[in-house]
Amino acid sequence: MGDLIISEEVLEIAQLSPEQLTLEIAVYLYAQKKLTIGQASRLAGLDLIAFQKELAKRDVYIHYSLDDVKKDLANLRNM
């Protein structure tokens, strides 16, 4: 898998730092149910509690199903 490259110009236009953009992407992918909360928090570079606080700031509700638990456990086993 290749790296995603975002130009400085785009970051300036969006008024975001690379870390802020990464957080926004992680929140979006979580909200769209593309990543589990564990995967999204790792992408954002935050611990679970900090990521949950970011979700709350954006009015994104936590959707942590049994399937999410199983995926997170599998990811932990593969680390």
Coil/strand/helix, residue 44: helix
In a domain, 36, yes or no: yes
In a domain, 3, yes or no: no
Q: Both tokens of residue 67?
A: 């399937």
Q: Both tokens of residue 25?
A: 């992407």
In a domain, 30, yes or no: yes
In a domain, 23, yes or no: yes
pTM above 0.85, yes or no: no
In a domain, 60, yes or no: yes
Please write the tens of the pLDDT for every residue from 26-74. 999 999 999 999 999 999 999 999 999 999 999 999 987 788 789 889 9
Give, for 53, the enclosing helix (H) or strand (E).
helix 48-57
Q: Is-contact 44 26, C-beta < 8 A?
A: yes
In a domain, 1, yes or no: no
Full residue range of the structural domain in which residue 56 is found? 8-77
> 43: how many CB neighbours lie within 10 A of its CB?
17
- Classify residue 44 by burial, with Cβ atoms within 10 Å: 0-12, 13-18, 19+: buried
Number of structural domains (the chain) is 1
In a domain, 2, yes or no: no
